[in-house]
Amino acid sequence: MPGEPVERHPGDDPRLAGLETSWVWRRRAVWLTLLFCMGGLFWLMGWGRHDSRLHETIASALALLLGSVVMAYIAGATYDDRSRRQTWAGWEASRLATAAQRRDDQGAAAG
């Protein structure tokens, strides 16, 4: 209703819920892991003189770690966004139901 104060859902502002800080640390961990993997792969390609089975295994493991981190980061962000939208939708539905109940109560008291 016009004139009623607008309530804010705590998830609307990620800084209020402490979510922004966690994502800063997650991004740093992802970037450091990716840089480590790429550094290891570039070192093996440029200076890994011995073409050995060990270097092949290390390169495969670094490439797998790199792909896994990227996929986990994307999936985690998607899940977090979806969860936040569902939380907000539930909160908004309960807020609207409460507002409708107040209007019904006021109408019954006036009538």
Q: Which residues of 71-96 are buried (b: 16+ CB within 10 A; e: fewer)?
A: eebeeeeeeeeeebeeeeeebeeeee
Q: What is residue 66's predicted lDDT score, i.e. its pLDDT?
A: 94
Q: What is residue 111's predicted lDDT score, i.e. its pLDDT?
A: 56
Where does the chain have alpha helices with state H? 14-17, 19-46, 53-110
pLDDT tens readout for residues 53-97:
999 999 999 999 999 999 888 887 777 777 776 676 666 677 767
Q: What is the C-alpha to C-alpha distance for residues 37 and 62, in angstroms, rounded to an integer?
A: 5
Q: What is residue 48's predicted lDDT score, i.e. its pLDDT?
A: 79
Q: How confident is the model at residue 106 (pLDDT cuts 50, 70, 90)?
A: low
Q: What global pTM score does this model have?
A: 0.56
Q: What is the C-alpha to C-alpha distance for residues 23 and 20, in angstroms, rounded to an integer?
A: 5
Q: Is the pLDDT of residue 28 over 60?
A: yes
